[in-house]
Amino acid sequence: MTVVPASLSLGSLRVETPVVLAPMAGITNAAYRRLCAEQGAGLYVSEMITSRGLVEGDEVTKKMLVFDELETVRSVQLYGTDPVYIAKAVEILCADHGVAHVDLNFGCPVPKVTRKGGGGALPWKRGLLGEILTSAVAAAAPYDVPVTMKTRKGLDDEHLTYLDAGRIAQETGVAAIALHGRTVQQAYSGEADWDAIAALVDHVDIPVLGNGDIWEASDALRMVEHTGAAGVVVGRGCLGRPWLFRDLAAAFHGEDVATLPTLGEVKAMMRRHAELLSEHMGQERGCKEFRKHITWYLKGFPAGGELRHQLALVDSLASLDALLDGLDDDAPFPERELGTPRGRQGAPRKKVVLPDGWLDDTDGRGAQLREDADETTGG
Q: Which residues are catalytic?
A: 108
Residues 211, 172: contact at Cβ < 8 Å? no
Residues 249, 228: contact at Cβ < 8 Å? no
Strands 154-156 and 159-160: antiparallel
- Amino acid found at 287: C
Residues 156, 189: contact at Cβ < 8 Å? no
- Three-state SS annotation for the chain: CCCCCCCEEECCEEECCCEEECCCCCCCCHHHHHHHHCCCCCEEEEEEEEHHHHHCCCHHHHHHCCCCCCCCCCEEEEECCCHHHHHHHHHHHHHHHCCCEEEEEECCCCHHHHCCCCHHHHHHCHHHHHHHHHHHHHHHHHHCCCEEEEEECEEECCEECHHHHHHHHHHCCCCEEEEECCCCCCCCCCCCCHHHHHHHHHHCCCCEEEECCCCCHHHHHHHHHHHCCCEEEECHHHCCCCCHHHHHHHHHCCCCCCCCCCHHHHHHHHHHHHHHHHHHHCHHHHHHHHHHHHHHHHCCCCCCHHHHHHHCCCCCHHHHHHHHCCCCCCCCCCHHHCCCCCCCCCCCCCCCCCCCCHHHCCCCCCCCCCCCCCCCCCC
C-alpha–C-alpha distance, residues 51 and 88, integer Å: 8
